[in-house]
Structure 1
């Protein structure tokens, strides 16, 4: 009985430490350079385990769940267009930090395919003596220049993590708040809790691994002529990156192409003030 009790305790401890910790951040964005009054706010998850962390949109997981349910029903339910539109996200990327190999992998969709690259720029932090309290955490101030923006972060050592939202890492604690000097982007920790494991994310089309500089070039090509860019892609995974389901029928291909192009250009315009300016 004593040996069984010890085994039970060991399994309990292993299970406890194997759990993933989820930190929920409120992300505030002004993605449209021509309309800074249009402020987008949504939640994003930072899931952390001993081996890695993942940062991604809450709405992405909710959309994946709706699409998965539709697939399991054989498409019988159909997509609820209003529901899918309500789950649209301004955070279309995901970021994985490989703790063992000290790598940060960025993944985002361009046209029909997903592109991923390993971040090749280190964040160089200046840790300042200023401290304060945000919520229940004692935090300390730090600054960095990254991606063409000057960032101020507040990190805490009250939690045993050296991580943060987006690509932020390398501080001796968890980033509780981060904001750029222009006030275009901010990340604010709202709450945290444990989850069993990282969720599975749906992936459509190819995953194209490139260098960061090549990704930037492809991104510029997409912005310049989105339809030409998509026509040159090899993917057969989905018919359009902008499509949210519903409707369809026997539509004129030329009309569909025109609507897709207009929607793509509108999406690009609405994201003319990206989080990284260079």
Structure 2
């Protein structure tokens, strides 16, 4: 059988396009952190980390940027820098729940048709990476978009802390359908493995459906929230990027971020 003709982004030619017309970027943030308490307000190059994350999201140019904060001091820090933030319930079980509450608070009429969820601990994330997470939503069949990076270090192939995205991805393609996510080494056989990056973009209807679903059996077994969407028949596509963005989870990560952003406005 002849292979399908593919568009430049790796999607089969002829796939219906339905890109969101009015997306918003929402950054969930909370002060509680086991390894680095209060990290949203940690100083990085003269600004709180959450402000640096807001700046990176603004630079991506996808749409307006909102911080969904669990505490009023985060709201105050963002607003002092000229950004927009909204106070949400402190007891949300996940960032997805927090961004959905924020979306309903600031846009009850449903004007924004897609949401990009940028984590609040990615102060050095590249703007191209944020844009890449949004790009798979250009195809009508995709409910949720995310990112993956080819695994280069041998030890990461078997590390359960490195979540693997099992993608249907032809050689040379940069966007593929996610069939599963796992902490195990998968798939087997020759070929690349992909490190999943937890930066998501949702069609609004998909986000609303997702947060209303009960946890799935495999989600609870693997401790991976995205498996809930797959179990419900939702489609997740992943864009392949070249590097894992630095997530600030420890004091050492914080020092790395400070070094990267030293001298940057």
Which structure has the highest helix share of the two? 2
TM-score greater than 0.5 by the shorter chain:
no
After TM superposition, the score normalised by the length of structure 1 is 0.20
TM normalised by structure 2 equals 0.21
